[in-house]
Chains A and B, each alone.
Chain A
Amino acid sequence: MTVDPVDLCGVRLDGPILNGSGTFDAIAARRAFGDALLEAFPFDLFVSKTITLEPRLGNPPPRLWETPAGMINSIGLPNKGLTGFLESDLPLLAELPVPLCVSVMGFTRDELAALVEAVGARDEVALIELNVSCPNVETGTVVGADPSETAAAVERLRPLTDKPLIVKLTPSATDPGAVAEAAESAGADAISLINTLKGMALDPVTRRPWLGGGTGGMSGPAVRAVALAQVADVASRVGVPIVGMGGIASGAEADDFLTAGATTVAVGTESFRDPAAGRRIKAELAALRRSRPSVHAESTA
């Protein structure tokens, strides 16, 4: 059972299911599952973990906390840095049977520019996602929380590559729709949302913050309704394609996001529970589409 192919910024995908950045390590998964992973790859586009210019160790453990219907992570973007990524990870990611999107984050606009230029020059890369959920160390503002900061970043980066640029919004902005509009006018080719929501947990014994990073990013079904509202709002305000995500765990939920205006959807936390979740969700979506070929917004049953 299949779904229709999707065009995302000129990149043809066999279906609308992506992974959220940082929720699936295809290289590690291949160590665990072997080439069987490639034969039944769960996504139609693979999004890399966010890379930064310099290598990062990530946050001290503990890094996880289970919440009602979800979790908080405080991973801290561990990665090999640009050079390590290009040398050791990119060749392996190029072996995946789907197009590749590389997620990048910079602490300054110069860092972002260096990343976009270097990643954009590689033929293995189809799209670039800008993770703007980090503070600009020059201004102290979280780039993605501020429309003008986001626009300035995208304007600077847009001429540096001919690859489509996806801007990943943070749900912690006062008005994510305004950030999406600013990104679009600055030349963004697509918008993805939502990133995780800031969350916190206290150690039941010591009563101090449980997570090594103090706070973390909350994800899973618990955030789905928030995500759906933000996707619907952004879809009503921009014309570029939208990658919708946030707690999607079934084909029906993926269909909600597509109906709300997303062109594709990403599966994140659900893949932690089952590495084949993306494939299952795609099959459920296909079955739903076959039984209900014309899908329009419906009131909740």
Chain B
Amino acid sequence: MPAEPRTLAPPERRIAEVKAVERIGAYDVVTARDSIGPADPRPGQFYMLATGERWGGGSDERPYLPRAFSFARLRPLAGGQGADLQFLFEEVGPGTRRLGELEAGDSLALLGPLGIGFTAPDAGRWPLLVGGGIGVAPLLCWDDELRARGTEAPVMLGFRSAAHAEAARLFGGEPSVCTDDGSVGRRALVTEPLREELSRDPHVVVYACGPEPMLEAVKALCGELGVPAQLALEAGMACGYGACFGCVVPTVDGYARVCIDGPVFAAEQLA
């Protein structure tokens, strides 16, 4: 058994500095300089984030708990410690609303990297990346790493609308894009072209992150065709390091904590 792809986190929350905020379609891409943490988080790992100032005190005194985000991109700092980390935000509630207000120079409180990242394919299989919406985030750094190793993986993405689909241009290659409304690319769920691709060449490992229905469809499809898949799950969590037991998902061995046993799970592990 190879060691699980987990880079350890320093055991405390620390402050990173927001270096840049860029609007890409429906998403805010925030770059933060984490000068204390490790330079080598594994793609698929995540950070618990809160703004350094005014976290809480909004409408209804929320947000209160930090929010979990996979890092989307990584640039290690010179000297072997620390990294510039990129995160994708889309406003869905009080936490993401406040994070979306961040500007360059603001402080970002973070804990991480946390959880287990993606595992490279066994010999004889090739990676295939499937993302939906903001779930493209962990696939970006995984694509970067695969490219650095000389592997150009096909990337298949699904989005709600043209504004969301702008995130496709963050990828290095030429991802194939579907949208729910057909405004960009093919009008389909991403699992339609995925089925065609897997029927053509099943010698792949599917790496997927996206909304729950998409992941369920990917899991069912890969199960049907006998293709291994690694799914990066999202779940509401209070702590990110196994303390609260709030983020469980059913697996074949009972409940597992997304934060410490995942967020990346082999599809066949999930019940």
Interface residues of A (CB under 8 A from B): 22-25, 27-29, 31-34, 36-37, 40, 42, 57-58, 61-64, 66-71, 73, 75, 78, 220, 269, 271-276, 279
Contact = CB atoms under 8 A, between A and B. Distances in A.
B238 A36 contact: no
A40 B66 CA distance: 22
Contacts of A73: 238, 244-246
A265 to B, nearest CB: 18
B11 A33 contact: yes
A33 B243 CA distance: 12
Contacts of B248: 58, 61, 63, 78
B242 A32 contact: yes
A280 B260 CA distance: 24
B245 A69 contact: no
A271 B239 contact: yes
Nearest to A37: B11
Interface stretch (B56-64, B150-158, B182-190): B56-64
B53 to A, nearest CB: 15
Contact of A220 (B10, B64, B240): B64
Given A33-B10, A67-B64, A275 B241 contact: yes
B245 A58 contact: yes
B245 A63 contact: yes
A28 B247 CA distance: 14
Interface stretch (B169-177, B198-206, B249-257): B249-257
A42 to B, nearest CB: 8
Instruction: Among A28, A37, A69, A75, find the residue whose CB has the most chain B CB atoms closer than 10 A.
Output: A28
Contacts of B255: 57-58, 61, 78
Contact of B65 (A25, A40, A58, A273): A273
Contacts of B64: 66-71, 220, 273
A28 B242 contact: yes
A273 B13 contact: yes
Contacts of B56: 69
B12 A275 contact: yes
Nearest to B115: A32
Contacts of A279: 12
Q: Which of under 10, 10 to 19, 20 to 34, or 35 or more describes the interface residues of B?
A: 35 or more
A276 B260 CA distance: 18
Nearest to B95: A66
A258 B6 CA distance: 40
B242 A274 contact: no
Contact of B13 (A61, A69, A70, A274): A274
B65 A276 contact: no
Closest 9 CB pairs of A and B: A28-B242, A276-B12, A68-B61, A33-B11, A64-B246, A274-B13, A272-B239, A272-B238, A32-B241
Interface in B102-126: 111, 114
Contacts of A274: 12-13, 111
Nearest to B66: A273
A92 B254 CA distance: 22
Interface of B: 6, 8-13, 50, 56, 60-66, 111, 114, 235-249, 254-255, 257, 260
28 contacts: A24-B243, A25-B242, A25-B243, A28-B243, A28-B257, A28-B260, A29-B243, A31-B6, A31-B242, A33-B8, A33-B241, A36-B8, A58-B248, A63-B245, A64-B236, A68-B60, A69-B64, A71-B65, A71-B238, A75-B245, A75-B246, A78-B245, A78-B255, A272-B243, A272-B244, A273-B66, A275-B241, A276-B13
A33 B240 CA distance: 12
A70 B50 CA distance: 15
Nearest to A276: B12
Instruction: Among B60, B236, B244, B257, find the residue whose CB has the most chain A CB atoms closer than 10 A.
Output: B244
B91 to A, nearest CB: 16
Nearest to B236: A64
A52 to B, nearest CB: 14
Contacts of B235: 61
Given A64-B244, A66-B63, A68-B62, 12 more contacts: A22-B245, A28-B260, A31-B6, A31-B260, A32-B241, A32-B242, A57-B254, A61-B248, A63-B245, A269-B238, A271-B243, A272-B238
Nearest to B248: A61
Contact of A69 (B11, B61, B238, B246): B61
Instruction: Among A22, A40, A69, find the residue whose CB has the most chain B CB atoms closer than 10 A.
Output: A69
Contacts of B12: 40, 274-276, 279
A42 B12 CA distance: 10
A34 B8 contact: yes
Contacts of A22: 245
Contacts of B257: 28
A67 B65 CA distance: 9
Contact of A63 (B240, B241, B246): B246
